[in-house]
Each structure stands twice: as structure tokens, then as C-alpha cells.
Chain A
Amino acid sequence: AQKITQTQPGMFVQEKEAVTLDCTYDTSDPSYGLFWYKQPSSGEMIFLIYQGSYDQQNATEGRYSLNFQKARKSANLVISASQLGDSAMYFCAMRYSGGGADGLTFGKGTHLIIQP
């Protein structure tokens, strides 16, 4: 069974600093996808970035990058130059693969607060 672990329940970061949010995962499937979503206080889940298990390079999307270390089974999210609007819950998720299964398994999330 897949499992996602986010060990940081909450983080306080000064505006403009870089932030690393930790995520480790456990799966026996060689083919999988890793996702990060942002959930502001309004409640909607916003897709940020994706990394496939066979991708050779770390994914990047604007200020977001994913530090993918396959041997360690970690997929940390890095936010460069944090902004006040980055304050939100952040969830790491893994996609099932194979056998037609397609749901996402989410971690418990990290509550990020950016301070001015």
C-alpha cells in the first residue's frame, strides 16, 4: 500500500526566504507519480507541481521546484523567494498506478505561514 509522510505539521518562514517542505513516500510500485497541492484557507486544492518516477530531472514550475531523491523516497517541495500569499496548507500526494487504479494518496499536510 502507498503511504505519504509529511513530518512538518507547521512552519513559520520570513517573507522572501526559501522554504523546503518535506515529503517521504512508500510504495512497492516502480511506476508512480508525485504531486504537490496548495490549499488556502478558502478550501480549494490548487495543483502546483508533478514528478514522475521515471523522470530524470527534478520538476520545476516558476518559484516551485521538487527535490526528487528516488533512493531516499523523498519528494520535497522548494518554494523560492516566499511571498505572503504562499501562506496555506501544502499537501504531498502520490498517484496509484497499474490495474486501473487512479486515486491520489495524500499526506497530512504542512501548514505554512509566511511572516512579513
Chain B
Amino acid sequence: DTGVSQDPRHKITKRGQNVTFRCDPISEHNRLYWYRQTLGQGPEFLTYFQNEAQLEKSRLLSDRFSAERPKGSFSTLEIQRTEQGDSAMYLCASSRQPLAGLNEQYFGPGTRLTVT
């Protein structure tokens, strides 16, 4: 069973540059989530997809952030005009459609972004 994969694992960029991250979920999972985790904090929810539809976006997702899941499989998260405050670990997770309440989310290894 292949788990959730993310690419790249690390990204260093200069302030003002655009960056794009990719997430490949577990193949039979139709839900895909993006979270951001800063040092010393728990992950914060950003957005999620059911198949190709983006169903929810957090207030944390400013207009510089955009996420897509064009064919309902992999997803990309783009940050435009990066700021130093964007430095964080970006986590992707996937899950099946919840049944009877259980919605276990399987997380990928994350992409660590450093904005200099």
C-alpha cells in the first residue's frame, strides 16, 4: 500500500517568488486535505477536496494561495509572492469518504518551506 507522497520535501525560496507543491494521495481515497504547521504548533487546516471539487477553504488561505486537484487524483498548492511568514511545513492528507463518522486522515511527510 503506497502512502501519501509529497514533493518536494524541502524548498528554499526568496521572498516574492512563487512556489508550487504537489501531493499524491492514497489511490482509493477521494478526499484530499492541505494543512500548514509552524514551529511549535499543531497543523492548521487550509482546504480540502472531494474528488476534483474544492469544498472548503480556511480563512488562513489568503488570495496568494491557490489549490487545485484537476482530475481528482494529485493536488497542487501554489503560493504566489511568498512572504517570510509563509515559512512552515505544508502537510497533505487523504481519506476515504467517511462512513459512520470515522474519517481517518493519512498524512504525507510534508514539504518544508523556508522563505529567505
- Given the complex, which residues of B lie within 8 Å of A97, measured CB to CB? 101
- Given the complex, which residues of A lie within 8 Å of B109, measured CB to CB? 42-44
- Given the complex, which residues of B lie within 8 Å of A107, measured CB to CB? 42
Distance, CA A97 to CA B56, complexed state (A): 12
- Residue-wise, chain A 27-39 has the 8 Å CB interface mask toward B (1 for contact) of 0000101010100
From A43, A53, A91, B110 is in contact (CB under 8 Å) with: A43
- Residue-wise, chain B 19-40 has the 8 Å CB interface mask toward A (1 for contact) of 0000000000001010100001
- Given the complex, which residues of B lie within 8 Å of A95, measured CB to CB? 103
Q: Is the CB of A33 within 8 A of B110?
A: no
Distance, CA A92 to CA B74, complexed state (A): 27
Name the residue on B nearest A31 (C-beta): B101
Q: Is the CB of A50 within 8 A of B102?
A: yes
The distance from the CB of A47 to the nearest CB of chain B, in whole angstroms, is 5
- Given the complex, which residues of B lie within 8 Å of A106, measured CB to CB? 42-44
From A43, A53, A93, A103, B48 is in contact (CB under 8 Å) with: A103
Chain B 79-113 residues near chain A, CB threshold 8 A = 89, 91, 93, 98, 100-110, 112
Chain A 41-90 residues near chain B, CB threshold 8 A = 42-47, 50, 52-54
Chain B 32-60 residues near chain A, CB threshold 8 A = 33, 35, 40-45, 48, 55-56, 58
A sample of 15 more A-B contacts (CB under 8 A), given A37-B107, A103-B58, A106-B42, is A4-B42, A43-B112, A44-B107, A45-B93, A47-B104, A47-B105, A50-B104, A52-B101, A52-B102, A54-B101, A102-B48, A102-B98, A104-B33, A104-B45, A106-B44
B residues in contact (CB < 8 Å) with A: 31, 33, 35, 40-45, 48, 55-56, 58, 89, 91, 93, 98, 100-110, 112
